[in-house]
Amino acid sequence: MSFTVFLGNLPLWVAADDIKQWLAAEDLVADSVKVIRNHETQESKGFAFVEAPTADEMQAIIRRFDRAPLEDKILRANPAQPSKGAAPKGGPASPAASAPGGAPAGGPSGARPADRNRPDRRGGKKRDSEPKSAFAAELAKAL
């Protein structure tokens, strides 16, 4: 059984080593940490998956990091869900992965909707900077 935590809303500079240091500083254990990156640019997509050895450790990681402030962001942590259209390990590909007629799910060319590439979906408005929390200050020291 997998005890994987989805860790989202990460600043783009966060690397797997940063998350490992934060876990170690909190006496939390992870079997692995994977920051998800764009295949073409290698830039972080702003989320990661943390594999915990036990359900209790997974819950401890979630409690510590869910809604924790980091810079101008609020982190999200919750149990990871299998991706929609992902086949169970060792199983055949899911029919949900393609549209009727065998075309890729994004349309005949497999393209994604154009709005996914917009730099700012909130109309360009930025939140006022809030003072860094003690948690963010400690993370900055560790880096």
Q: In sequence order, what E strands does 42-125 have?
A: 44-51, 69-70, 73-74, 76-79
pLDDT digits (tens, 9 = 90+) for 18-34: 999 999 999 999 999 99
Hey, is 89 helix, strand or coil?
A: coil
pLDDT digits (tens, 9 = 90+) for 27-81: 999 999 999 999 999 999 999 999 999 999 999 999 999 999 999 999 999 999 9
DSSP state of 66: T
Structure tokens at 37: 């990156």
Mind listing the domains of the chain with CATH numbers?
Answer: 1-82+129-143 (3.30.70.330)
